[in-house]
Amino acid sequence: MQPATACAFSGLTIPWLRRCSSLRVKCSTSQRAHCASTSTADTAEPTEPIGPIEPIEPDPEPFKLKPLPYPFNALEPHMSKETVEYHWERHHRGHVDSLNAIIQGTEFAEMKLENMVLTSYNEGNPLPFFVHASQVWNHDFFWETMKPGGGGNPSGVLRDLIERDFGSLDELAKEIQNAALTQFGSGWVWLAYKRHRLGVGNDINPRPSEKDKRLVVVKTPNSVSPIVWDYYPLLAIDVWEHAYYVDYEV
């Protein structure tokens, strides 16, 4: 699918969105046209006689561990090669392997990862593999949140929205730090866009809050991803101890 970079709803440029997902509020007209033109019509004639159908072996690896976008040492000195390697090779891979072990051969193996996270969250009563699905999603996002030579300041629409919703970049940084330091136990801190739509036709939120349709900082416990609460993540920070312990200890 063509990488779509502009969310038609919020106007934010989100370059890492690679495919249409059910989370997209509204595809733009050109995106929809592209989807329509690339759908394949089933017109092929069968060339072989139809014989007994052999059972298809379930794919033992429905999900593959996504490669890191940069080498292990690329984030030094802020994050050591050792930490990145352990984090990706052991923790991230561990979740991918556990997820595959549980879902192979089930209908979940056909699902896209985001849908699997949302389905397995099960409205707060998570299915056993929610932890793994969500952590795979979270870590995929986490590696993209960082890049070698990154840092600096946001620009354009994102900077304007940060100034609108937090006052300044410094205020945002303070709020993120505060959230990270007050997360009791393991979890994640996110910069996210909070739409608070209900996902139904006429979408009038009976409990609107002043935080709707704004950028917010949100904490999630353990493996929960904010997509299950209908947030639209922009940045992810892993505050499980394994993410920083080797480099920063306490």
Alpha carbon distance 105, 155 (integer Å): 45
Q: How far is the CB of 58 from other proteins (least distance, A)?
A: 25
Element at 193 (helix H, strand E):
strand 187-194
Q: Which of 30, 31, 24, 29 is nearest to 7 (CA)?
A: 24
> For other proteins, which residue of 131, 161, 162, 179 counts as binding (CB under 8 A)?
131
The residues facing 231 across adjacent strands are 194
H-assigned helices in the chain: 29-38, 81-86, 93-103, 113-121, 130-145, 156-166, 169-181, 245-248
Asked if 30 is part of the footprint of other proteins (rule: CB under 8 A), the reply reads: no
Alpha carbon distance 222, 239 (integer Å): 9
Asked if 28 is part of the footprint of other proteins (rule: CB under 8 A), the reply reads: no
Asked if 67 is part of the footprint of other proteins (rule: CB under 8 A), the reply reads: no
Residue 49 corresponds to which amino acid?
Answer: P
DSSP 13: B
131 versus 191: smaller Cβ distance to other proteins: 131
Whether the CB-CB separation of 115 and 133 falls below 8 Å is answered with no
The CA-based angle 57-60-63, given to 5 degrees, is 130
Asked if 187 is part of the footprint of other proteins (rule: CB under 8 A), the reply reads: yes
Element at 192 (helix H, strand E):
strand 187-194
Interacting stretch for other proteins, rule CB under 8 A, among 45-53, 112-120, 192-200, 218-226? Answer: 218-226
Asked if 81 is part of the footprint of other proteins (rule: CB under 8 A), the reply reads: no
Q: Side-chain half-sphere of 188: how many Cα atoms within 13 Å?
A: 24
90 versus 211: smaller Cβ distance to other proteins: 90
Asked if 247 is part of the footprint of other proteins (rule: CB under 8 A), the reply reads: no
44 versus 250: smaller Cβ distance to other proteins: 250
> For other proteins, which residue of 163, 186, 218, 230 counts as binding (CB under 8 A)?
186
Please report, as residue ranges, which positions from 137 to 176 form the binding site for other proteins (by CB under 8 A).
Answer: none
> For other proteins, which residue of 36, 184, 199, 210 counts as binding (CB under 8 A)?
184
Whether the CB-CB separation of 225 and 138 falls below 8 Å is answered with yes
Interacting stretch for other proteins, rule CB under 8 A, among 1-9, 64-72, 210-218, 234-242? Answer: 234-242
Which string of x and - marks every residue 86-125 that binds other proteins (by CB under 8 A)?
x---xx--x-------------------------------
Q: How far is the CB of 221 from other proteins (least distance, A)?
A: 7
Interface positions with other proteins (CB under 8 A): 86, 90-91, 94, 131, 184-187, 221-223, 240-242, 245-246, 249-250
